[in-house]
Chain A
């Protein structure tokens, strides 16, 4: 998983049926990674620090529904305790 900051969301009217009702969030990987689109599983909003799961496992957050996603926000971060920060 990687830490990220939610910087916005994406709206698609035409999309895979399984994505209906799912929030597509724009997430900047921290500290300076690429921006990815991730589906939200925890109710995250813009400005929040989160961590997200990648790969096939990302879709497991929504089982038994089979959602086509390769990145899912799985937690909203309250605090990061890191050495030297």
Chain B
């Protein structure tokens, strides 16, 4: 799982049926210092996250598709949590 910032969303009329009715978010992965790290990615929303939120995201198929209530669907990334706080000891 990764920490990421929701930097936008994507609108797509023509899409695979398993993506219908889902919010499609654009994420920027973050370092622990909240700096952008690596390429932005597209993920389906399972928790009602919005632009500006810091979130917990998965980039693995089984966890991504089950979190949005799908099975055997072409989904490889999903937002599964909204981060309140990261504590470093």
Residues of A within 8 A of B (CB): 1-3, 29, 31, 33, 41-43, 51, 53-61, 63, 72, 74-85
Contact = CB atoms under 8 A, between A and B. Distances in A.
A82 B61 contact: no
Interface residues of B, number: 30
B11 A1 contact: no
B42 A57 contact: no
B75 to A, nearest CB: 6
Interface of B: 7-16, 19, 24, 26, 39-43, 51-52, 60-61, 64-65, 72-77
Contact of A2 (B16, B41, B51): B41
B73 A60 contact: yes
B73 A83 contact: no
A62 to B, nearest CB: 9
Given A42-B16, A51-B42, A59-B74, 15 more contacts: A1-B43, A1-B75, A31-B39, A41-B16, A51-B12, A53-B76, A60-B72, A61-B74, A74-B74, A75-B14, A76-B12, A76-B13, A81-B11, A82-B7, A83-B52
A61 B16 contact: yes
27 contacts: A1-B42, A2-B39, A2-B41, A3-B40, A3-B42, A29-B39, A42-B15, A57-B61, A57-B64, A57-B65, A57-B73, A57-B75, A57-B76, A60-B61, A60-B74, A63-B72, A75-B10, A75-B14, A75-B16, A77-B10, A78-B12, A78-B13, A80-B10, A80-B26, A81-B51, A82-B8, A82-B26
